[in-house]
Amino acid sequence: MSVRKLKPITPGQRFRVVNGFDAITTDKPEKSLLAPIKKSGGRNSQGKMTMRYKGGGHKRRYRIIDFKRDKHGVPATVASIEYDPNRTAFIALLNYQDGEKRYVVAQNGLQVDQNIVSDADAAPPEIGNAMPLSAIPLGTIISCIELRPGQGAVMARSAGAFAQLVAREGRYATIKLPSGEIRRVLVTCMATIGAISNSDHQLIVSGKAGRSRWLGRRPRTRPVAMNPVDHPMGGGEGKSSGGHPRSRKGLPAKGYKTRKRTKASNKYIIERRKK
């Protein structure tokens, strides 16, 4: 994987850094695994704007991703590595031996024609294979982790993300997550071996405001530029700093903890994420 710096023949290309797409093998998605996406533009059923700074963007089709990896014991061959406009990571098209096709989030190093499998205990700990945490060797780099058995992958799914299996004790496995948080998860939860693909995503520079519009993001107004009626940090003579940083509802920002002390999952967190 690599990134490319463009020759600046326009002002928008002067600082732009784009993905090299070296790992991509095809630009045509599997039609049977596509679904339509309806855009709301941030409006509710009455047509009123309830979410600011959304709207526009290029038309997309959703790729149906298999996050559960519940086709156990059936080997699959990687047919292609593809771009997905709905996520930062690349996706892989799998051809199972029984003829079924599925998309999965691609791991770093996954190659076309590679054989991968999802199994409860017999799968080797190789890149792309999915298995429960009880069968994964300690210290292994993992991704696409379930939080509850059968739920489907919810953690470590974005480009370049990975977690590490640190320990196992009884019913629980201890995992160090990308945020730095260390928490316990049931050993019956599934995870995939390897880090997520497209780790160069963090190096990409859009180069111009229009690229945010292509992604469906409208211009965001700074709170200090608003009037007092619109935001607690608005108003003031001239270029005022805006006072204490807080949200539009008045909740303090930058360091103020909003997590409930009585939240049920607190008992599973061994160490909180790094600030």
Q: Which amino acid is at 237?
A: E
Residue-wise pLDDT for 73-103, tens only, equals: 999 999 999 999 999 999 999 999 999 999 9
Q: Which of 25-29, 215-219, 239-243 has the lowest mean pLDDT?
A: 239-243
How high is the pLDDT of residue 243?
Answer: 86
Query: Are domains 3-202 and 221-275 of this chain identical in fold?
Result: no
Residue-wise pLDDT for 21-66, tens only, equals: 999 999 999 999 999 999 999 999 999 999 999 999 999 999 999 9
- Given the candidates 3.30.2130.10, 3.40.50.40, 3.30.70.20, 4.10.950.10, the CATH classification of the domain at 221-275 is 4.10.950.10
Residue-wise pLDDT for 244-274, tens only, equals: 999 999 999 998 988 899 999 999 999 998 7
How high is the pLDDT of residue 206?
Answer: 94
How high is the pLDDT of residue 239?
Answer: 86
Query: What ranges in 33-85 are assigned the alpha helix state H?
Result: none
Is-contact 76 115, C-beta < 8 A?
yes
Residue-wise pLDDT for 116-151, tens only, equals: 999 987 788 999 999 999 999 999 999 999 999 999
Residue ranges of domains in the chain: 3-202, 221-275
Q: Three-state SS string across 138-151, please? A: CCCEEECEECCCCC
Asked if the model's pLDDT at residue 185 lies above 70, the reply is yes
Is-contact 197 89, C-beta < 8 A?
yes
Q: What is the mean pLDDT of residues 143-165?
A: 97
Is-contact 162 153, C-beta < 8 A?
no
CA 135 from chain centre, in angstroms, equals: 25
- Given the candidates 3.40.50.300, 3.40.50.150, 2.40.50.140, 2.30.30.40, the CATH classification of the domain at 3-202 is 2.40.50.140
How high is the pLDDT of residue 1?
Answer: 61
Is-contact 64 33, C-beta < 8 A?
yes
Rounded to 5 degrees, what are φ and ψ at 115?
Answer: -95, 130
Sheet holding 163-169, edge to edge: 130-132, 190-193, 141-143, 163-169, 172-176, 182-186, 269-271
Q: Which residue has the tokens 């029984």?
A: 98
CA 265 from chain centre, in angstroms, equals: 22
SS3 95: strand
